[in-house]
Amino acid sequence: MAPHADVGAGTMNGFSITNGTLTPPEFIHNQKETFIVNSPDVQYSADQIRSKYVYRTTTVTKSGDYYVAAPKETTYDFKVDRKVGKTGLMLVGLGGNNGTTVTGGILANRRNLTFETKEGPRPSNYYGSLVMSSTMKLGTDAISNEEVNIPFHDVLPMVHPNDLVIGGWDISSMNLADAMDRASVLEPDLKRQLRKEMALMTPLKSIYYPDFIAANQEDRADHILEGSKACMAHVEQLRTDIRDFKRNNNLDKVIVLWSANTERFAEIIPGVNDTADNLLKAIEQGHEEVSPSTVFAVACILEKTPFINGSPQNTFVPGAVQLAEQHNAFIGGDDFKSGQTKMKSALVEFLINAGIKLTSIASYNHLGNNDGKNLSSQKQFRSKEISKSNVVDDMVAANSVLYKKGEHPDHTVVIKYMPAVGDNKRALDEYYAEIFMGGHQTISLFNVCEDSLLASPLIIDLVILAEMFTRIQWKNNTEPEYKNFHSVLSVLSYMLKAPMTPPGTPVVNALAKQRNALTNIFRACVGLQPESDMTLEHKLFPEAKSKKLVQ
């Protein structure tokens, strides 16, 4: 491990130090790191960052009428591959609203385009992306005592979205320029500047099982693989598509993300999709209860390609999760958390943590894009209703003062298709709560959100973070070998309405907890403790200052 170094002179993790100035070794300079950790528990090399991290938790047992809390320490070793390889993003639903918006946005940022809007010229940006447009507290300045914050993207070596190679599948044959016009999301001047490049991009043929999406989508389905139910030929074709995309673009890895239509929920049937073997057998036999998204998931798992589900259906049936565990492949889901639900998870967390008893939540929204058209079918709406309805459960369960066991706020969700509003979704929410001494509080929110412009940065975040976790390994310090994170990437939950967790582990929907988990895992990878926000250095009076004041 690298030794502690004097800030004035010497060496630190390969840096030479002269009069307090750090000169980085070539491998650090090439990666453009913005900070170095000075700790005996952190080691840098050209290929890796290694850290030793003490994880402190509290275990609780029940003894009679008392809880007994005991501090617990576990030492972990983290290893991060510093090489960021060339990465591809394959979208299922490439020609949809989200697909064309995220593609156009990345191309615009790559070319540094400025475009005209009604409010004047606007530069391309990645606003709405946690990774690209937010910061993380690194620590406190040693001299000024002020907080030092760095871009989230600079915490560890990560893929830059401008470098992503984009491809994917769609049931519609439209090239991406025409599909971008059909979506009606991006500004006209931006579309004009992107048209030539996007006209050259066409999706691969996708799979289409009519029973799983609304009948009103049939007119789009002119670009499909032969067969209307699951089969191993579809799995193999998708695997071939991934391999060809990787080879043709000289990629190191590919991330696949479902941004296609919401499917109906698949029924969980013993002997069909309850185990990995049964699921593979069901696909071979063409069972009608295997959804297109599950077929995509299986293909990606067999290719050891991370697959993320951005829609609310139950893509990851038990058999798919077990298959991912068997193949040590990453999966994540479900359903992008962009507008109304993100506001809900933040506001409910605030109210309950403030000791206010939320008794009902009424959520209504209407939208006019193709997602709204598909959701006008009851079976597909039911998938969305489930993903939107469960986002307060863990926050309610955590407060036994406000809620008795089994007690829960009334919660209803309504979605209506209104073609006239297009991608500008209208979300109305009413929160009704009990306050002090029989009083009540009503909070009403009216949120107009451009749906695809909120969802597209989440796609970028999910891809960057999924790729990042392919390069992180860890082990308990008593174990001989490093291992990957669990196949179910619950750490992606900040971007997802109904986050998946490994079997038997709790689901966390509280927005602040989700972000803190992600931030603190990244801090652990560079040997830094979580930010406690205690700021004791500002609250406890230093002895020297105290004596000076007395004098």
Would the pTM count as exceeding 0.75? yes
If asked whether residues 304 and 384 sit together in one domain, one would say no
Q: How many CB atoms lie within 10 A of CB 414?
A: 12
Q: How many CB atoms lie within 10 A of CB 421?
A: 16
Query: What is the average pLDDT across 170-183?
Result: 97
Domain count, the chain: 3
In angstroms, rounded to a whole number, what is the distance separating the alpha carbons of residues 39 and 139? 14
In angstroms, rounded to a whole number, what is the distance separating the alpha carbons of residues 272 and 317? 10
Query: What is the average pLDDT across 124-130?
Result: 97
Gyration radius of the chain over CA positions? 25
Give domain status of residue 446, yes or no.
Answer: yes
Q: End-to-end CA distance of the chain, in Å?
A: 46
Give domain status of residue 147, yes or no.
Answer: no
If asked whether residues 107 and 165 sit together in one domain, one would say yes
* Residue 167 belongs to domain spanning: 87-114+156-336+454-474+485-516
Q: How many CB atoms lie within 10 A of CB 536?
A: 7
Give domain status of residue 141, yes or no.
Answer: no
Helices (H) and strands (E) in the chain, counts: 17, 21
CATH code of residue 207: 3.40.50.720
Give domain status of residue 4, yes or no.
Answer: no
Give domain status of residue 524, yes or no.
Answer: no
Residue 297, H or E segment: helix 292-302
Q: Has residue 1 got a pLDDT over 60?
A: no
CATH code of residue 31: 3.30.2360.10
Give domain status of residue 443, yes or no.
Answer: yes
If asked whether residues 95 and 166 sit together in one domain, one would say yes
If asked whether residues 110 and 63 sit together in one domain, one would say no
Q: Could you tell me the sign of the dihedral formed by the alpha carbons of 294, 298, 299, 304, in that order?
A: positive
If asked whether residues 315 and 352 sit together in one domain, one would say no
If asked whether residues 326 and 217 sit together in one domain, one would say yes
If asked whether residues 176 and 97 sit together in one domain, one would say yes
- Residue reference for tokens 């010229």: 121
Residue 106: pLDDT band (50, 70, 90) is very high
In angstroms, rounded to a whole number, what is the distance separating the alpha carbons of residues 140 and 149? 9
pLDDT tens string 231-263: 999 999 999 999 999 999 999 999 999 999 889
Task: Give the catalytic positions in this structure.
Answer: 335, 384, 425, 497
Give domain status of residue 400, yes or no.
Answer: yes
pLDDT tens string 224-233: 999 999 999 9
Give domain status of residue 536, yes or no.
Answer: no
If asked whether residues 191 and 326 sit together in one domain, one would say yes
